[in-house]
Amino acid sequence: MSRTVALAAGLLVAAVLCALCLGTPNIPPYRLAALAPGGPADGLEALVVREIRLPRLLLALVAGACLGAAGLVMQEALRNPLAVPEMLGVSSGAALGVAAPLVLTLALPGWAYPMLALAGAALGGVVTLVAAGFGRSPSAVLLTGAAVAAAFQAALLVLMLMADQLDLQVIFRYLLGSLSGRTWQAWQGVWPWLLAAVPLLVLCVPMLAVLRLGDEDAAALGLRVRHARLGALAVAVLLIAPVVAVCGPIAWVGFLAPHLARRLRPEADVVRWLPWAVVWGAVVTVWADQAARLALKPVETPVGAWTALVGIPLGVALLRGLRTPRVALRRGLRTEPRGVPDDAH
């Protein structure tokens, strides 16, 4: 565990220093204390750190943490390692809710876009659950969600055909996920939903640990399986919608972070995986944002392009080494040795 903590802490500290120090202008690390909010320094460097780099860094950390937690919740609630926001209609529904007013030239205040994203994400989740029988079968939820996501993406393509050139560029960059130009004002669309989602997430995690036992065993322990699954997916929607509203659908973070948490802490359970999924989601997103800022400098690229570029090969590597637990033991789940029959216990 100590190695895992050191690795995560080292990557996170290095990413924070890169985010605050590198760019135009480059700032030495020893000057950050003076340039921080409330510090004595003033001028261009202080303005860049306080009003541009710091809010963008914090937003990247929070967005990655939310996506990592949402990915773990979905995978555990549906008992499927491929259950991610991109495949359940949640991200595409939220993106559709944000893109539609842009194409239809509706003049809306900034606070309305998170509401539209939440409505679109909820619509995607509700349509998926209704079509899949309200979570009766986790596999049906995943397959139906993929179909709903494809339908919403087709609707997005129709809207893009209707958009003019300027709106098309804005929508295209948004759909790839971007943190460019995000300032403290962007936090108005994130923090109210986090205040509601974080306590619910804490209450949801113990139910996920019981759901890992299987529907029949969880029901035997007194858990209302369908209600618990619906509640977990609702929490995931609350975590995803504000992130998609402000940053766009940043792909693959919700897939990578839970798998990294499991791979680096295989002996843990879902309760202990949650903070690690949060940490690795933040690490992946912040490093991807540094690549987006600096790789093709002075041109900024979408952060979602980098998470996909890194996430696809890394995700394939993680899945190739994935071993699915076969039996739930009294103290949690662990991978059972091959060749041991189920009835041997």
Q: Residue 100's domain is classified under what CATH number? A: 1.10.3470.10
Query: Residue 27 pLDDT > 60, yes or no?
Result: yes
Predicted confidence (pLDDT) per residue in 91-133, tens digit: 888 888 888 887 877 777 767 777 787 788 778 878 887 887 7
Place of tokens 């690390």: 29
Q: Would you say 188 and 246 are in contact if contact means Cβ atoms under 8 Å apart? A: no
**For residue 4, what pLDDT band results from cuts at 50, 70 and 90?**
confident
List, in sequence order, every residue forming a beta bridge with 334; answer none if it has no partner.
327
Q: Would you say 292 and 306 are in contact if contact means Cβ atoms under 8 Å apart? A: yes
Q: For the chain, how many residues are written? A: 345
Q: Is the peptide bond before 298 cis (omega within 30 degrees of 0)?
A: yes
Structural domain includes residue 333 = no
User: In the chain, how many domains are there?
Assistant: 1
Structural domain includes residue 330 = no
Q: Return d(Cα 209, Cα 218) in angstroms, integer.
A: 9
**For residue 135, what pLDDT band results from cuts at 50, 70 and 90?**
low
Q: Whole domain around residue 154: which residue ranges?
A: 2-322
Structural domain includes residue 222 = yes
Structural domain includes residue 56 = yes
pLDDT at 258: 93
Query: Residue 329 pLDDT > 70, yes or no?
Result: no
In percent, how much of the chain has pLDDT > 70? Answer: 90
Q: Return d(Cα 182, Cα 119) in angstroms, integer.
A: 22
Structural domain includes residue 342 = no
Of 2-6, 46-50, 102-106, 221-225, the range with the highest mean pLDDT is 46-50
Q: Look at residues 309, 293, 319, 188 and name the one whose alpha carbon lies nearest to residue 250.
A: 309
Q: Return d(Cα 31, Cα 309) in angstroms, integer.
A: 34
Q: Return d(Cα 229, Cα 235) in angstroms, integer.
A: 10
**For residue 242, what pLDDT band results from cuts at 50, 70 and 90?**
confident
CB atoms within 10 A of CB 44: 8
Structural domain includes residue 340 = no
- Those residues with Cβ within 8 angstroms of residue 28's Cβ, 6 or more apart along the chain or in another chain: 21
CB atoms within 10 A of CB 335: 12
**For residue 322, what pLDDT band results from cuts at 50, 70 and 90?**
low
Q: Which DSSP helix (H) or strand (E) runs through 327?
A: strand 327-329
pTM of the model: 0.85
Structural domain includes residue 274 = yes
Predicted confidence (pLDDT) per residue in 283-320, tens digit: 999 999 999 999 988 888 889 889 988 888 887 787 77
Q: Would you say 212 and 76 are in contact if contact means Cβ atoms under 8 Å apart? A: yes
Concatenated DSSP letters for 35-66? HSTT-S--SHHHHHIIIIIHHHHHHHHHHHHH
**For residue 334, what pLDDT band results from cuts at 50, 70 and 90?**
very low
Structural domain includes residue 246 = yes
Q: Return d(Cα 128, Cα 111) in angstroms, integer.
A: 27
Query: Residue 137 pLDDT > 90, yes or no?
Result: no
